Chain A
């Protein structure tokens, strides 16, 4: 146990907890301003914004001796007896001078800067800066330079070197560097070696000012108009925690949401820029029934009953549940199909595999398995059917004529079925296809139902490490689209609105694999293996992962 004193408040840290001054102060609600320090990167202590007074309390006499110098809190470990003073006049003046220094040559082009509103330089200036400018240096112009995946506003930079350290320590690609010296210093890349790697988008989040800007987001939205929603990335089996920033049902950007158990502070570019399909014009947006050669638009109000009726007459049934569907939706659909035909075949949709797993030196992984919920869907299928029927096995069974009515719950953001595979579904009495985009399969369907995209639905996903995370909806689906869960809910005859929490409670009670999910699901998710392992083992493994 270690006792740390921060501005007169005692903080008790458990043995073995290694924190620096900034982290320790945060625990007692004191914010020590900092630019260059980031929990995921090495400590350089160069911005000097986190300067505090540090002392030591003698364990025996209780006397406190303070160091005469100011010390950066980021490089001061909070060990037993450490005293931090963050509010003294000396500290206040040091912060004001650092702010003044950083603004000497800053272009102060906040009105056209993307970062305005979430910029540390702005925030700290209001909190710690001086009201009057004493310098008479001519501000530099705001030069913009294309350095690859992101764009650099050279003069806005405050040289915290976070981005440089990120490319060296986390992505391992080392494209970014510092050129020049002193006041002429700039961030740059080597000629002909632009910033280009699958994690490059993170440097924009890391940048405490508006120097590094996202080309995808540049000048598209002011940050104060956007709302942030907690969500889960669905572009690979890691299931990174993300923020969805939207305004009026339009997504403008995705950002990593720190989660020590899954993605730490980062996300990959595939996930970050992989949301554009949500607003794609080619999306299916209304339910339709095929009558001969033509398609008829349907009314959602009558649809549940009509579908139930058709399904009852089309037995034997089969269902294909894609790994993009949430646990709750998969559970409801299985329950629905099994209630109509107790022997129905339940199959998992094709698992999209692209390339190889990418491992980065900083420990970040981008998986080749490009779907969020294979483990969850398989667990649900195994519960209902005893074993998981793969998509290939299902195709074989269709060829053998074992089903007459098939429900395909797709929701794939990418093309997932080719013409040849789709032909296996030809000649069925009933084919219901629920998907985001038209496909060779939807051309054959008797009913085409639009699916909701990841940001429009709520539910839980289980990643490849059996880590369960829940996600709420961030935007409303396009007019005419209803999330799958709502449709299943109605078809099962349940009253009111789809309630994923109550469904998950059901699942946790019924399915051993999900038994840990009976409790409140934390924002960082929950380890489903916790009940399967000896007590303490899971914690140990988890801390090892971190």
Chain B
């Protein structure tokens, strides 16, 4: 996990992950009771095995009933039925965009001679996000079972699991899980006598954020530079090796397994129902993993139903803001989604909740909590530095826009900021990205949302900072001369 936010010290980052242990889960609920908030009766599903001894081994997985769903599905259901079930569940992709998974699968051409490819996106690079890591390190077989069922449904005979370079333990454990599953007959030719064959390959990234983008990931698996492809054609028609391809997140395929195991009714009993006034809203159903990091007492990975409020996540699960300080801002779902203020934290964490408070969306569902002592100028500077560094450089607006925004923030931090820089930053934020249509992929939107939300919601702080550092109003009305590169450390 690369948490790019400087606010999180290194040793706390490590602790984030330890919280996923069973002992931590017990403590979490105890503290929730103590906090006086109503405790939601909720049984962990996705994290059920996490914290058990040797949970990453096949033996432990089988002991908890693993692969029985796969056995049942292969025996009793046709691929079309599986697609129908997933479609009926309104499962939405957990990777960030929230696209309905069943719908995505149905875009695959009918009766294609093959091969069809299935990619599992485990390139979890969004700053502040680490839930897939917990799944793959502690319960790799669950991910694998979900992958096999998804491949069965989509008719894919090859699956690639794209793991980011920074997850060596995930790599090791997923590879061990694949080897174990193959030896036990859950992978390979004629799985469990059903006639369905599947090979799963691990592909290890080399450390680029853009490889988590659907078509960037495809290009990367093909061995090329991860420049996202222009769409159309969409991957479902022409993807990996120019064949129909589905790309799904780790958590999504894990959810597929549970939907097949427990049924659509169970899945739809959890979460926020669809808005009856909006026929295009598929609702936000099912369990979701939330990673909480930043200035909280107990950062970690927690499972909760979609629609839980941001306040509940911070106060009940993460034990509130640390050191008795007040909350200043929360990044609701990975850095790309922008920020919400302390007043807005009653926002429900479902696919449409953060949208209503001006954020990009639910994103990955991983919160970064900032306390009152943290400067939003620093926050935005770090955010811009990340996206300028990770922009693949293909589309002009993103390549130049992220770079320009970073240079401006560098200057603001160096005490040469101007009020009008904020308007220029907002203009960049409003015009780059896939939503205005000026880029191929969504990276620029991810860069734009922190800029837009931070400046709009904390404008007073930015202006105070600029007035405080640039007291004389230096160059406020004139064009600023060029900034020496060496004046500010890179």
Interface residues of A (CB under 8 A from B): 43-49, 51, 69-72, 75, 93-94, 97-98, 100-102, 104-105, 133-139, 158-159, 161, 177-178, 180-185
Contacts and interface: CB of A to CB of B under 8 A. Distances in A.
Contacts of B438: 48, 51, 70, 94, 97-98
25 contacts: A46-B396, A51-B437, A51-B438, A69-B434, A69-B435, A70-B438, A75-B230, A93-B431, A94-B436, A100-B400, A101-B400, A102-B396, A102-B400, A104-B400, A105-B403, A136-B407, A137-B483, A159-B396, A161-B394, A180-B393, A182-B391, A182-B402, A182-B403, A183-B391, A185-B393
B113 interface: no
Contacts of B232: 75
Contacts of B484: 138
Given A101-B400, A105-B400, A136 B480 contact: yes
Interface string B395-414: 11101111110010001000
Contacts of B392: 181-182
Contacts, number: 112
Interface in B430-454: 431, 434-440
Contacts of B403: 104-105, 182-183
Contacts of B395: 46-48
Contact of A158 (B396, B440, B482, B485): B396
A137 B399 contact: no
Closest 8 CB pairs of A and B: A69-B437, A101-B400, A70-B437, A138-B482, A183-B403, A45-B230, A185-B393, A182-B391
Which residue, B230, B388, B439, has most C-beta atoms of chain A within 10 A? B230
Nearest to B407: A137
B436 A69 contact: yes
A49 B391 contact: no
A158 B438 CA distance: 16
B97 interface: no
- Chief secondary structure at chain B's binding surface: loop
B388 to A, nearest CB: 6
Given A48-B439, A70-B437, A136-B483, A97 B431 contact: yes
Given A182-B402, A182-B403, A183-B399, A70 B483 contact: no
Contact of B399 (A51, A97, A135, A182): A182
B36 interface: no
Contacts of B404: 101, 104, 135, 137
B436 A70 contact: yes
A181 B391 contact: yes
B158 interface: no
A51 B230 CA distance: 13
A98 B227 CA distance: 19
B230 A159 contact: no
A538 to B, nearest CB: 34
A181 B481 contact: no
A529 B211 CA distance: 53
Interface residues of B, number: 39
A505 B436 CA distance: 59
A136 to B, nearest CB: 4
B243 interface: no
A101 B390 contact: no
Given A45-B230, A159-B399, A183-B388, A133 B479 contact: yes
B479 A48 contact: no
B396 A49 contact: yes
A136 B482 contact: yes
B104 interface: no
Which residue, B230, B388, B389, B393, has most C-beta atoms of chain A within 10 A? B393
Nearest to A53: B437
Given A182-B391, A182-B393, 8 more contacts: A44-B227, A137-B404, A138-B485, A159-B396, A178-B225, A181-B208, A182-B403, A183-B388
B479 A45 contact: no
Given A71-B437, A104-B404, A44 B394 contact: yes
Given A102-B400, A136-B480, A183-B388, A159 B437 contact: no
A49 to B, nearest CB: 7
Which residue, A72, A133, A135, A177, has most C-beta atoms of chain B within 10 A? A135
Interface string B266-298: 000000000000000000000000000000000
A48 B440 CA distance: 9
B6 interface: no
Contacts of A98: 396-397, 438
Contact of A134 (B400, B424, B440): B424
Contacts of B227: 44, 46
Nearest to B424: A134
Interface in B208-240: 208, 225, 227, 230, 232
Contacts of B479: 133-134, 136
A177 B388 CA distance: 21
Which residue, A49, A75, A181, has most C-beta atoms of chain B within 10 A? A181
Contact of B482 (A47, A137, A180): A137
Given A43-B230, A104-B400, A181 B436 contact: no
Contacts of A102: 396, 400
A306 to B, nearest CB: 68
B397 A101 contact: yes
Given A137-B404, A185-B393, A101 B480 contact: no
Given A137-B404, A182-B389, A182-B390, A72 B396 contact: no
A134 B423 CA distance: 12
Contacts of B396: 46-49, 98, 101-102, 158-159
Given A45-B230, A69-B436, A69-B437, A101 B399 contact: yes
Contacts of B230: 43-46, 72, 75
B393 A101 contact: no
Nearest to A67: B437
A138 B486 CA distance: 11
Contacts of A185: 393, 399
A131 to B, nearest CB: 13
Nearest to A103: B400
A93 B436 CA distance: 12
A139 B484 CA distance: 10
Which residue, A72, A97, A133, has most C-beta atoms of chain B within 10 A? A97
Nearest to B225: A178
B483 A181 contact: no
A190 to B, nearest CB: 13
A387 to B, nearest CB: 53
Contacts of B411: 136
A133 B480 CA distance: 11
Contacts of A177: 225
Nearest to B487: A138
A328 to B, nearest CB: 49
Interface in B48-80: none
A47 B435 CA distance: 17
Which residue, A47, A75, A183, has most C-beta atoms of chain B within 10 A? A183
A185 B208 CA distance: 14
